[in-house]
Structure 1
Amino acid sequence: MRGNTNRSTTRRVRAALSTAVAVCAVTAVLPAAASAEPAAASAEPTAVAGAAGDGGAGVERISVAADGTQAAGASAGASITSDGRRVIFSSSATNLTADGTTGGDRVYVRDRRTGQTERLGTLPPLEPPVISGDGEYAAYSVRWFNDVRIRLNQVSTVREISLNCLAYSCGQPSLSADGRYVAHVISSVRQPSFGQRIEVRDESAGTQETVAQLGHTQPSRPSISDDGRYVAYQDGQAQDVFVWDRTDGTASGPIEGPSEEAALVQLSKDGGKVVYLSGSDTHVHDVSSGAAQLVPDVRGVAIDPTGRYLLYAPHDADGPSLVLRDLETGTDETVSEQPASAGTDAVSAGGRDVVFQSAADDIVPGDTNGMSDVFVRRSY
C-alpha cells in the first residue's frame, strides 16, 4: 500500500471537468424495518407558513425555539431526510423544546411540515447525528462509561434503542433508508492491536456482518446505501476507498486507482455514486461503470440521494462558501455566499433542499444570537 444568503439567483454554468469478533447487541428491538410506514416521509413539508417548507424557494432557520423565535445556536453536522421534511442536529440551546434542556449538547429533530422540534435521548452526542432517509430513525454515538456506543432513536415515538458494543466502542453510524441497516465502526481503546472493524447491523434480523477488518484506527467512515446493499468506506492508513457489495460479499477498489490517495466523502443513497477527495480535487465515481467524473479544485461535501447533485466548497475564499452542482448539466447554484459549512447527508433528493450551518447574521432577518445556526435552503 502507499503511504500515506441570501442566495444568488443566478445560476452559473461551469464546465464539469468533467471490520477479535465483538458482537454488537441491541437492548431493545426495532420494529421490522421492512414494514416501516413510509407515508410520513413522502409528505411534502408544506405546513410552516412563510418558510422554505411551504413549497417555495427560499431559506429557513431550523434551530429555532419552541415558540418560533431564535434559539441559542446549534452545533455542526446537521442532516436532512431524502424528502427534505426532517432535519437532525445537535444544540446546547435550552429553548428548542417547551420542556427545555440543560447540560451540554443534545440531539434534536425538526419537522419542517409541522414546525415541531423533538429532543432525542438524554446523553450528548460525540459526533454529528444522522437520520434515516424516511425520517423514522436517528443514530449517534454517546459516551457509556469507558466505551462508546451507538444510540438509536425511533423519531416518531422518541424511543431510545442502544446498540451495545459490549467491551468495545462503536461509532460513525450510517443508516439505510428505513433504519434497518446500521453501518458503523467498532474498535477497542483497551486493545489497540485490535484495530477497527467496519460492520453492518441488521436491526430487523438481529444479525451482524463484517465488511472489513482494518489493523489500525485511522479514519474509515462507512457510508451505506438506502437499500443496505452497498457500503463505501476508506482505509485511512493506506488512503484508499473501497465499495463493499453485501449481496455477493465482494469489495471493489481502491476505486481511485493504484497510484492515487483518496478520502471518502459519501456514497449516494441509491448506491450508484461515490464521492471522494484526492489532492485538491473532488471525484464522483460511478459504481457500475467504474468511471469517475472530475470536479477540479473544490472540496466535495455531500451528494444527494440520487447521485446527481454534488454539494461542494470552493477552495477560493473570495467566492461563495457552498455551491450545489448538477453533475449532468454542469450547472452550479450558490447555496451560501456567507461563510458556511455542511456535512454528509446535507442534500435532499433532487437537490431541492440543502441543510447547512452558519454564524452569519444576515441569512434570515432577526438573527441576533451571535452564534452558529442551522438553515435549510430550498431551491424550487
Structure 2
Amino acid sequence: MSPTPPVNGPQVYLLDRASGAVLTLSARPDGVPGNRSSNRPSMDASGTRVVFESRSSDLVPGDTNNTWDVFLWEQGVPGLRRLSVAASGVEGNGTSFFPKISADGRSVLFLTAATNLYPVPGGLGDLVLVRDLQTGALECVSVDSQGLPITSGSLVPRSISGDGRFVCFDSDASNLVANDQNRASDVFVRDRLLGITTRVSEDTGGVEGDAPSTLGQISRDGRYVSFASDATNWRWGIAGSGQVYRRDLQTGTTEIVSADAFGVPGNRVGRFSAISADGSVVAFVSAASNLVPDDRNGWVEDIFVRDMSCPSISAAYELACPGSNGIPPLLYLAGCPARGRDVLLWLRGTLPYAPALLLFGRTRGNLSLGGGCALLVDQPFGVALPLATDAGGVGSLGFRIPPLSSLVGDLTLQAIVLDPGLPQLLSSTRGIDVRIR
C-alpha cells in the first residue's frame, strides 16, 4: 500500500520492513491524510503502537480546539485515539505535543499547555503528563518530590523508560529540587513509582552545572541517562564546547561520553544522543575534530558511538619521533580492549607504503634508537605484528584479542616504522597504555 501524497503538510507513516508496505498513520478512518501537519512519531518496542502530534482537526470526531493534539495509532484497532483530553473526555484548551511512548506500549509522555486536562493547584504554565493507556489515567510528572508543580520556567519532555516508571525532561525551573541555583536548564528524572524527582545534570560530586544541560535520554532499564551540557565547572567542561555525558542513577556517577580514547573531551560542541537499552552504548552528534583519527571534514557534525562498558585507553606517553617527512607517526586503538573483543589499530603519518612493527609489552621502557627516537615498550612479547601503510601513509590492522587469562592487565603498545630517510632508519610512535579486562 502506498501512502497518499501529503498536501496539507508532513504526515506520519509506518514502514513494514518485511513487506515494504507503507501505511499513512495520520489519516482519517477512510485513509485520507489529516488536513494539517503531523509530526514527531514515537513507536513502542513491538511496533504495534505509535503516538504522534498533529494539528489536524479531522482525525477524530469533535476536534475543535484548533491546535496540536497527541494521537495514538494501534495496529488492529480502527481509527485513532486522541490522548490529550481530560478524564471526562473534554479536549484540551491548549497545545499538546512532544509525545513519547514507553517500550511496553503502556505509558505516553507528552507536554501540554492546556489548563483543563489536569488540575494542578498553584501550577503555572506547561505541564508534563503521562497517559496510562491501560487505565486511561493522567499523571503530572513535572513536579517536585512533594508533588508541587513548577512555579516558573520551561519544560520539555525527552524520554521514558521501557516500563514507563521513569520519565526524563528538561526544565529551567528552580523549585523541582533543593538548591537549584544555576538559573539554567537542567535534566530531571521522575520516578513515578516512588514519587521522587531527581536532577540528573550534576557531576559525580553533586555540583550543579554553571550552564544549561538539556536533551536527556533515559535507557530502557531506567538506570542511565545521557544528556548534553555546556557546563564549564565540571572536570571535562570546556568553554564554548558543550559535551555529552552519561549519568548512572544507581551510583550517582557522571561520565563524559564525547571524549576520545584517551579521555580528552571533544574540541567542539556535542549534542544529541541516543542510549542503548542497558545504557552501555551511547551514540551522539558532535562537531569535534579530535574524537577519532582522520576526522578531516572540518567542524562538520558527525555521528559517533561510544561503548561505555569498555575502559578507555589510560594514557599516551612520550612524544613520537618524527619521520623524514617531518610528521610524527600516530598510533591509535579503536574498539574495546577486552578479551574476546575486536579491536582496530590505526597507524598514520608515515612515508608511503612504509613497513612497521606493532610492539606489545607489560611495562614502559625508554631504550634509545638514535636520532631522538626510543623504544618505549619494555620487554616486548615474543610476537610483533607487521603492518604496512598505504600511499597516504595510513595503515590499519584489525584482530580479536585472545580470551586468555594471561592477557588481563595493563599493556603498552608502540609502532616502530622503517624510514630510510633517517640516520637511524627508524621512526616511532608514542607509547599507549591499554588496560585489558
TM (normalized to structure 2)?
A: 0.43
Higher relative contact order, chain-length normalized (CA < 8 Å, sep 6+): 1
Q: Rg larger in 1 or in 2? A: 2
- Structure richer in helix, relative to its length: 1
